[in-house]
Amino acid sequence: MAFLERYDNPPDEQLSPLLARNLGTTQSVSKQVSAILDAVKGEGDDALYRYASEFDGVNLSSLAVSPEEKKAAGAHVDDSLKQALSQAYAHIHRFHAAQMPTGEQVAVAPGISLSRKVVPLSRVGLYIPGGTAPLFSTVLMLAIPALVAGCPEVVLCTPPGKQGRIHPAILYAADLCNVQEIYAVGGAQAIAAMAYGTQSIKAVDKIFGPGNRYVTEAKVQVSSTTCAIDMPAGPSEVMVVASPSSNPAFVASDLLSQAEHGKDSQAMLVVQGEKTEGNDFIDHVEAAIAKQLTSLGRTEFLTLSLASSRAFLVPDLDSTAHIVNAYAPEHLIIDLGAAEDDALLEKVVNAGSVFLGPYSCESAGDYASGTNHTLPTNGWARSYSGVSTDSFIKKITVQKLSKEGLSSLAPTLLCMAEQEQLGAHRNAVAVRLGGER
């Protein structure tokens, strides 16, 4: 069975549609999300309770997770998972702590001192998907940099399960990161609650976290008027770059691990090599996919996702770099051999996160190597970085001029103010130095 549509070094005029993602936001989704945002903005908690019943199938008595439920969560988490979360926490915290900046201080001239003050965001909102799988790993990825940055208020929203409760592993991970404020609210309505505020949920300054099309569209809509967001992070994707000497089972496993995220996910393969040899390798990858599928669950997602997956055969490193940068993948796995891996990395300018070598599987970054897995999708890696400690801080510029410093700068300031015909700007300098007005 063929899983991957194959293309032999397609020219640029054919490449763009071949690199298109599975699904874009439709007008219908946009309208539905807009209606949800308006309802939550106007009705507050009442809309959240109604949507919990309509979308999640639960009748909640409270949106906030109780202290008792938080406390009880640990008893329902396996010791092995607790240990795994502890190691993941340590790695993620160490990497993100190293990212914490210190404000620069520069004397650009005698009497003119400039600096930047690093300030954590006051209140941040974390969205944790919970529809097809409880993504407790995302709790670590978002809450740890918020903790490192020193954000004083952190709120977490995640969909309730069928019993109206949050998955205990999500609560346990939140407790590890000292997140106290947790609400059983999911979907676009959670984004609305965090952006606008309700009777129970105070509005936040910035919203973080991945989600489905509805969540992503909600983030985009609120970001245009009300609340900052980390990025438009939609359905997940991977591009695997391999050669005929790569291990086809490794490549197949990377494609499948991405495809299982959801039916909108996308897995792309680029094989760098000669035409005949490269096609043989793709045959081996498809055989490995077929073999591994027999022992995997979530086949409904895997099958739909693979239906939009493609394999590209390219002849050389420059062609590989061109297709990678054109796609701008969320995850980029490079397995060409040590020297070629580094050579391609040098040419990569558009990617969310890069995994080098045969043993750097995407799963490592998704869970516990220490990098962040909240990354730009749908080509946004051309202009966005993934979430980091930087995402949770702002930098305020500060300047201090002495009278001597202002005097030395005055001719420049007066000249520029006069040329722009801004008399009050000119006067603010002149009045300090004993000039007119």
Of residues 355 and 3, more confidently modeled? 355
The pLDDT confidence band at residue 264, using thresholds 50, 70 and 90, is confident
Query: What percentage of the chain has pLDDT greater than the value 90?
Result: 82
Q: What is the pLDDT of residue 329?
A: 96
Task: Say how far apart CA 188 and CA 12 lie, in whole Å.
Answer: 37
> What are the binding residues?
127, 189, 212, 236, 258, 261, 331, 366, 420, 425
Q: Where are the domains of the chain?
A: 27-229, 235-385, 402-433
Give me 60's structure tokens.
């909640």
Q: What is the pLDDT of residues 162-212, one digit of tens each?
A: 888 999 999 999 999 999 999 999 999 999 999 999 999 999 999 999 888
Q: What is the pLDDT of residue 298?
A: 72
Q: What is the pLDDT of residues 297-346, one digit of tens each?
A: 777 778 777 888 899 999 999 999 999 999 999 999 999 988 899 999 99
CB atoms closer than 10 angstroms to residue 86: 11
Task: Say how far apart CA 104 and CA 89 lie, in whole Å.
Answer: 29
- C-alpha distances out from residue 201 to 182, 184, 196, 257, 330, Å: 10, 11, 9, 35, 31
Q: What is the pLDDT of residues 382-420, one digit of tens each?
A: 999 999 999 999 999 999 999 999 999 999 999 999 999
Say if 27-229 and 235-385 have the same CATH topology: yes
Q: Please state whether beta strands 353-356 and 123-127 pair in parallel, antiparallel, or not at all (unpaired).
A: unpaired
Q: What is the pLDDT of residues 127-151, one digit of tens each?
A: 999 866 789 999 999 999 999 999 9
- CATH level 2 (architecture), domain 235-385: 3-Layer(aba) Sandwich (3.40)
> What are the binding residues for substrate?
236, 258, 261, 331, 366, 420, 425
Task: Say how far apart CA 181 and CA 153 lie, in whole Å.
Answer: 8
> What are the binding residues for Zn(2+)?
258, 261, 366, 425
**CATH number of this structure's domain 27-229, picked from the four choices 3.30.360.10, 3.40.250.10, 3.40.50.1980, 3.90.1150.10:** 3.40.50.1980
Task: Say how far apart CA 112 and CA 115 lie, in whole Å.
Answer: 10
Q: Which amino acid is present at 101?
A: P
Contact 271, 239 (CB under 8 A): no
Task: Say how far apart CA 426 and CA 302 lie, in whole Å.
Answer: 66
Q: What is the pLDDT of residue 1?
A: 62
Q: What is the pLDDT of residue 395?
A: 97
Residues tagged active-site: 330-331
Of 305, 167, 169, residue with least CA distance to 236 = 305
Q: Does residue 126 carry a pLDDT above 70?
A: yes
